[in-house]
Amino acid sequence: MKRQPKQDLGLSTSSTSGLPLSSSEAEEMIRRELPELIKRLIDLARGVVVYETVGPDGQGERVYRLPPDQKALTYLLDRVLGRPAQRMEMVGEGGTQPLIITLMPRQEALREGFIEGEALSSE
């Protein structure tokens, strides 16, 4: 079986001078492609369905060519809803009282008054 050449997606990793892309060139390239990249990320989160069937119990079943990607789904949810607060415990030398640290997204910290600034309205 003869291999097909890879499709050129126009996403070269070097500039027109042949040197590696600068961060501003990379940002501009991503900015131009952003709508398509978001569509592809959503496709990854949903998975690629080959066909849907109805089982003997009447429940729908999907057969995937590419199953939903949990990391893509989590990333999208975190971007829209904000990352959930995370709790860490650190124990000092000699087993002293643990130090409890709660890590939270900036917007939640602003709303709760832990840092100064203006929180974006979630409404």
* Cβ-contact 109, 82 below 8 angstroms: no
**Over the chain, what is the mean pLDDT?**
76
Instruction: Give residue 80's pLDDT.
Output: 82
Instruction: Give residue 31's pLDDT.
Output: 92
Instruction: Give residue 70's pLDDT.
Output: 93
pLDDT band at 79 (very low <50, low <70, confident <90, very high): confident
Instruction: Give residue 3's pLDDT.
Output: 56
Where do the domains of the chain lie? Answer: 20-81, 83-123
Predicted structure pTM score: 0.49
For residue 42, give the nearest of 84, 80, 82 by alpha carbon. Answer: 80
Please report which helix (H) or strand (E) contains residue 72, including its range. Answer: helix 70-81
Token pair 């057969």 is found at 63
> What b/e readout covers 41-65, taking b as 16+ CB neighbours within 10 angstroms?
beebbebeeeeeeeeeeeeeeeeee
Instruction: Give residue 122's pLDDT.
Output: 47
User: What is the rounded average pLDDT of the residues 62-88?
Assistant: 84
Instruction: Give residue 42's pLDDT.
Output: 93
Long-range contacts of 95-99 (CB under 8 A, 24+ apart): none
Instruction: Give residue 123's pLDDT.
Output: 44
User: What is the rounded average pLDDT of the residues 67-87?
Assistant: 84
Instruction: Give residue 47's pLDDT.
Output: 92
pLDDT band at 58 (very low <50, low <70, confident <90, very high): confident
21 vs 115: which has the higher pLDDT: 21
